[in-house]
């Protein structure tokens, strides 16, 4: 009987550490490593050397300042879910959003940042009007998701009285498309409003929202959808 001890893939371990073996070779080595502590030990040392060298070869570059915050907030209270189908992707929204309750002053700063890049005064007015009722309400930032357009921003405003609404900065949707808001309770998304606007604009949520709900925005056909047909561009938890 051929045992793991008799056929150590010693010569293939460096390439395995590099991920440079062809698939059949990789599978064979991986199977061996399951049962051979000596080869696993050798592999660990090859990997240690490789990544030490790689760390020195890394580019001198600062990651975005908010990357740490996004990573932490993404996982604070998150459930770990694998997205494999639509339903799972909806659940994934609970794991991916960046819930960030921001004070009003910061929300105002967000407005400034929205409009400080040369957009029209009209957009500033729109956002100012949107914030007019927030004095004693809450503002929750919506996090850009994987397929979000560049510089996509959004905030959920929950005034003490009146309907909650979204303040969004998104490019104009392509012809035949619209931005659609969703309120997700548990795993069930409910359509909550449409807008074909671009720039800074608002969507008043037509669906009730409660603590723990997730709000998301997707790009949908112009007439809107009864259920999301695309991954969210923005999402956030309440």
Partner 1 sequence: MLVERIAGGDAEALGELYDRYGRVAFGMLYRMLPSPEAAEEVAQDAFHAVWQRAGSYRSDRAAVRTWLLAICRNAAIDWRRTRGKREESEVTIDAAAELLSDSKVDERVVEALRAERVRTAVAELPAEQRDVLSLAFWGGYSQSEIAARTNTPLGTVKSRVRLGLTKLRERLVDER
Decide whether 41 or 121 has the Cβ nearer to partner 1.
Answer: 41
Compute the least distance from the CB of residue 115 to partner 1, in Å: 23
Compute the least distance from the CB of residue 15 to partner 1, in Å: 5
Report the residue from 2, 34, 54, 65 that binds partner 1 according to the rule CB under 8 A. Answer: 54
* Region of 50-58, 130-138, 157-165, 212-220 interacting with partner 1 (CB under 8 A): 50-58
Quick note: the x/- pattern for partner 1 over 161-200, rule CB under 8 A, is ----------------------------------------
* Region of 37-45, 124-132, 156-164, 175-183 interacting with partner 1 (CB under 8 A): 37-45
Chain-centre distance for alpha carbon 42: 37
Residue 195 main-chain phi, psi, to 5 deg = -160, 130
Decide whether 14 or 199 has the Cβ nearer to partner 1.
Answer: 14
55 binds partner 1 (CB under 8 A): yes
Report the residue from 27, 30, 31, 50 that binds partner 1 according to the rule CB under 8 A. Answer: 50
Instruction: In whole angstroms, give the CA distance from residue 12 to residue 122.
Output: 64
Compute the least distance from the CB of residue 118 to partner 1, in Å: 21
Report the residue from 8, 28, 74, 106 that binds partner 1 according to the rule CB under 8 A. Answer: 74
Decide whether 77 or 176 has the Cβ nearer to partner 1.
Answer: 77
Decide whether 40 or 120 has the Cβ nearer to partner 1.
Answer: 40
Q: How many residues does the chain have?
A: 238
* Tokens (6 digits) for 153: 């921003």
Instruction: In whole angstroms, give the CA distance from residue 12 to residue 169.
Output: 52
With contact defined as beta carbons under 8 Å apart, do 142 and 236 qualify?
A: yes
Burial 117-137 (b: 16+ CB within 10 A, else e): eeeeeebbebbeebbeebeeb
| Cβ neighbours for 94, distance < 8 A, ≥ 6 positions apart | 78, 79, 81, 184, 214, 237
Instruction: In whole angstroms, give the CA distance from residue 169 to residue 27.
Output: 47
108 binds partner 1 (CB under 8 A): no
37-57 and 23-35 helices, crossing angle to 10°: 120
**Torsion (CA) 48, 49, 54, 60 in degrees, nearest 10:** 90
Instruction: In whole angstroms, give the CA distance from residue 6 to residue 27.
Output: 18
Instruction: In whole angstroms, give the CA distance from residue 16 to residue 22.
Output: 9
* Region of 16-24, 183-191, 208-216, 225-233 interacting with partner 1 (CB under 8 A): 16-24
7 binds partner 1 (CB under 8 A): no
Binding footprint of partner 1 on the chain (CB under 8 A): 11, 14-15, 17-22, 40-41, 43-64, 67-68, 70-78, 80, 95, 146
């Amino acid at each position: 009987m051929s045992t793991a001890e008799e056929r150590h893939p010693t010569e293939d371990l460096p390439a395995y550490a590099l991920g440079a073996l062809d698939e059949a070779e990789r599978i064979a080595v991986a199977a061996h490593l399951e049962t051979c502590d000596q080869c696993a030990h050798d592999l660990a040392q090859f990997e240690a050397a490789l990544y030490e060298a790689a760390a020195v070869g890394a580019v001198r570059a600062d990651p975005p300042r908010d990357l740490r915050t996004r990573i932490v907030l993404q996982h604070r209270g998150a459930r770990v879910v694998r997205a494999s189908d639509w339903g799972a992707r909806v659940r994934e929204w609970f794991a991916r959003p960046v819930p960030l309750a921001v004070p009003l002053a910061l929300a105002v700063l967000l407005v400034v940042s929205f409009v400080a890049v040369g957009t029209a005064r009209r957009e500033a007015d729109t956002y100012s009007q949107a914030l007019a009722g927030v004095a004693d309400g809450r503002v929750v930032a919506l996090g850009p998701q994987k397929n979000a357009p560049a510089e996509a921003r959004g905030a959920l405003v929950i005034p003490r009285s009146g309907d909650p609404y979204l303040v969004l900065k998104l490019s104009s949707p392509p012809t035949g498309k619209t931005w659609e808001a969703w309120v997700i309770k548990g795993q069930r998304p409910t359509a909550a409003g449409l807008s074909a606007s671009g720039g800074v604009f608002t969507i008043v949520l037509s669906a009730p929202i409660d603590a723990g709900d997730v709000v998301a925005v997707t790009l949908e056909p112009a007439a809107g959808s009864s259920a999301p047909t695309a991954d969210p561009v923005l999402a956030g938890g309440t």
